[in-house]
Amino acid sequence: MAGRRFALPNIEDLSKDQERVRLLPKEGCHLIVGGPGTGKSVIALLRARRHHRTGGTRANGRQDYCFLVYNRLLLEASRELMNGAVNAHPWIAWFRSVFQSTLKRPCPITNGQSFAIDWKAVGDTIAKATDRPAPVTPFVIIDEGQDMPPLFYHALAEFGFEHFFVVADQNQQITEQHSTIRDIAYALAIDPQDRIELTENYRNFYPIARLAQEFCVADPASPCTTLPAIQPSAKTPVLVEYGEGCRWDFEEVVARILKAADRDPTRLFGIITPDNDTRVRWLNQLRSSPLVLDHGHPRIVTYASGEAQGDLRFSAGGVFVINAQSAKGLEFDVVMLADIHCYRCRPEDQNQLDDMKRRFYVMVSRAREQVVLLRQADRPCPVEVILPTDQAILRRWR
């Protein structure tokens, strides 16, 4: 199977704003705010690459920077993007290791869960410690910075870290212990006015960015991407209804997804499902299809938190089936939001609607080229109320 190519950007690919952020001084604290697709993660990776390439290695052979990501999937994706040449770590594991090496004692956790750091105890322990060595990796680059708690930033500042490059989007918070932009700015002593906003779309094709904009919940701390007026496109996102009274049934939809994957085996399709049952249903149907294709059956893989993990390569084409909560920060050529009728929300509850909008905002903007929404025709679809009705933004097909 041919590989997907990750590549450095061409000079024309980065906007002036992105260029400005890319060329910020190596030293100091920088807070970059931008919606999905504004290229903030790419800029963060380019910054990591520069550290890695230009004298970033200290005398003891260790890099002088670290690139922190939220979870293992993002770690895999980042490492593949940089061909392994990046000192990347999942943030929790990295913090525990920093705590251990600095204070010579284990990082406090709650309920024996290694991922549940007891931030209160962390703060108390650091405050009591008198002799703290200087950080081994003084430059810290953080992707999806809104997903780490404020006490994490405070702890790093207490440990003596001085040089931060944090990219964040308040609209994409998925954790309970998240930070607001103001929290991060406060912890790192950055004047909130000095944060840099990226507002132009870098990754997504226009129709995707346009659809994502429909789900953007206005928040002064994390601005929505600015876009021009509606432009006609052959790749306008489509909502496909299947089943009773429609042209396609479930098997036919799956067959067409497999054929699309077969037409370009290097492309990565992300099928994002609302829950585990739906994920398993789609996965089984995709894997068991008897279809005869030009390139044989495409690679079909999955990821679910807490399950044994297999092939998680993002560098190869095929179909990746994941749950919505695992999708953040990832990137696919084509994104299919499967069975959107299974998402639950009460139309009269504005907070729920806003949460659902944020979730769709994140999921839709995982796509580089195309977005397809799928729903069963004979089921109620509570999220219909947040979907645009303008067919120039979201075409309907049944």
Partner 1 sequence: MSDIEDDLFNLSPLQTTGAALAGRRLLWHLPTNQLNLMYMLAAGLVTGPQGFGRKYYLDALSTYPGWIPLFADVIPRPALDLAVSEADHLRRVVAALDLSQLTGPVRILGPDGNIHPLLFPDGLSGREQVLFVPAPLPATWIQAILFASKDDRVATEDEAADYANVPLTAHKRQVKPRLFSGGAPGLWPPAPELLPQQDAPTHDIAAVGAAIGLLFALGNRGDNLVDAARLLADPSPAEPVGSVDPAQDPLLGALHRWASPAGPDPAQDIQGRLLREILQGIVQTKERSDADPASGNLTLDPHQAVLDILAATGKNLAEDKWQAALERLAGDLRGIIGLGSDTVSDLLNRHTKPFSRGLVLFFLREDCQELVDFSQALLTDMDFVVAAVLFGARSGWMGLPAKVRAHPGLREAASHRMAALAQLNRQTELDLGPAPARIQPLRELLGPAERAWTPPQQAAATTLARHMGWGDVMHTRISLGKGDYRLQIDGRGAHLLLDGEVKAVTTEIDQERLFIRLTAAAIPVKLDAQVRAALGRH
Site residues for partner 1 per CB under 8 A: 2, 5, 7-16, 19-20, 22-24, 46, 49-50, 53-54, 199-202, 205-207, 209, 226-229, 231-235, 238, 240, 253, 255-257, 259-260, 262-264, 266, 293-294, 369-370, 372
Minimum Å gap between C-beta 42 and partner 1 is 11
Pairing mode of beta strands 395-397, 238-242: parallel
- Write out the two tokens for 381: 């679809």
Nearest distance, CB of residue 285 and partner 1, angstroms: 15
Minimum distance from residue 22 beta carbon to partner 1 (Å): 7
- Looking at beta carbons only, is 253 or 353 nearer to partner 1? 253
* Alpha-carbon gap, residue 85 to 380, rounded angstroms: 48
Give which of 393, 384, 323 is closest to 73, Cα–Cα: 323
Reference 162, options 129, 194, 187, 188; nearest CA is 188
Closest approach of partner 1 to the CB of residue 10, in Å: 4
**Minimum distance from CB of 19 to partner 1 (Å)?**
7
Between 7 and 59, CB nearer to partner 1:
7
In the three-class reduction of DSSP (H, G, I as helix; E, B as strand; rest coil), residue 38 is classed as coil
Q: In Å, how far are 115, 168, 181 from 119, measured between CA atoms?
A: 11, 21, 19
Q: How far is the CB of 141 from partner 1 (least distance, A)?
A: 15
Angle between helices 91-103 and 150-159 (to 10 degrees): 30
Give the burial class of 280: count Cβ atoms within 10 A of its Cβ; 0-12 exposed, 13-18 middle, 19 or more buried. Answer: middle
Q: List, in sequence order, every residue forming a beta bridge with 57; answer none if it has no partner.
A: 63
Nearest to partner 1 of 186, 206 (CB atom): 206
* 8 Å CB contact between 227 and 201: yes
- Which DSSP symbol is given to 112? T
**Minimum distance between the CB of residue 150 and partner 1, rounded to whole angstroms?**
30
Based on CB atoms, which residue is closest to partner 1, 253 or 386?
Answer: 253
Please provide the distance, in angstroms rounded to a whole number, between the alpha carbons at the two ends of the chain. 33
DSSP 327-385: -TT--EEEEEETTGGG----TT-HHHHHHHHHHHHHHHTTEEEEEEEEEETTS--GGGG
Quickly tell me which residue has 């919505």 as its tokens: 324
Using the minimum distance from each CB to partner 1, give the nearer residue, 178 or 210: 210
Closer to partner 1 by Cβ: residue 259 or 344: 259
Kindly state the smallest distance separating residue 53's Cβ from partner 1, in Å. Answer: 7
Query: Cα–Cα distance between 19 and 46 in angstroms, integer?
Result: 11
- Which is nearer to partner 1, 202 or 303 (by Cβ)? 202
> Tokens 């050529």 — which residue?
333
218 secondary structure, DSSP code:
P
User: For residues 281 and 274, what is the distance between their CA atoms, to the nearest angstrom?
Assistant: 12
Looking at beta carbons only, is 35 or 135 nearer to partner 1? 35
Q: What are the helix and strand counts (H, E) for the chain?
A: 11, 13
Nearer to partner 1, 129 or 293 (CB): 293
Nearest residue (CB) to partner 1, 275 versus 369: 369
Distance in Å, CB of 255 to partner 1, minimum: 8
For partner 1, the closer of residues 24 and 157 by Cβ is 24
Neighbours of 220 (CB within 10 A): 7
Strands, E assignment, the chain: 29-34, 65-69, 88-90, 139-142, 163-168, 196-198, 238-242, 268-273, 300-303, 318-323, 332-337, 367-376, 395-397
* Min dist. Cβ of residue 180 to partner 1 (A): 26
Least distance in angstroms from the C-beta of 68 to partner 1:
21
